Amino acid sequence: MTDTDSRAHVVELLSDANLCMFTTTSTDGHLIARPMALQETEFDGDLWFFAAADSRKVADIGANPSVGISFQSGTSWVSVSGRASVVRDDAKKKDLWSQGVAAWFQDGPESDGIVLIKVEAEGAEYWSAPGSKVSTLIAYAKSRITGDRPDVGTNDTVDLS
């Protein structure tokens, strides 16, 4: 694939992914991953998340803005690396606010206790299996019989900076 095709493929894979594992480096140097919900479905190079202003992830980002975000959707996986920043912008919070966010943060988008995390994506790696989970299982079974490696799809790294 060309760089443009690979980037477009990452955008396509992320369009179906809402939940992810968001990984930061803690202030004592340990990797910490936690589930988070992506707030914008159209990936333009930036990923947006809501967080409590006093959360550990916000403190982690203040100490080390390098983050990793892993998505899974259907038979595809995407790992995005980037630099995170904490954004205190009521207009952007209102723009991204939804009923799902309101379930976690009852004080509303104007609350100082709620911030946005903006991740500027620098790179991604994806694994995309053809067809369905069933066809992937069939490919594994066939490989056991034939001794050939299963065709489990494509894998590529993409520069997003």
Enumerate the domain spans of the chain. Answer: 3-159
- One digit per residue, the tens of pLDDT, for the chain of length 161 reads 677 788 888 888 888 888 999 999 998 999 999 999 999 767 788 999 999 999 999 999 999 999 999 999 888 899 999 999 999 999 999 999 999 999 999 999 999 999 999 999 999 999 887 765 665 566 666 677 777 776 667 888 899 88
d(CA 99, CA 106): 10
The architecture that CATH gives domain 3-159 is Roll (2.30)
The residue assigned the tokens 């723009």 is: 95
Q: Which residues have a Cβ under 8 Å from the Cβ of 27 and sit 6 or more positions away?
A: 59, 60, 63
Residue 41's pLDDT is 63
Residue 46's pLDDT is 92
d(CA 8, CA 3): 9
Instruction: Kindly report the pTM of this predicted structure.
Output: 0.85
Which amino acid does the sequence have at 155? N
> Which of 29, 26, 43, 36 is CA-nearest to residue 115?
36
Residue 153's pLDDT is 75
Q: Nearest-5° angle of CA 23, CA 55, CA 26?
A: 40
Residue 68's pLDDT is 98
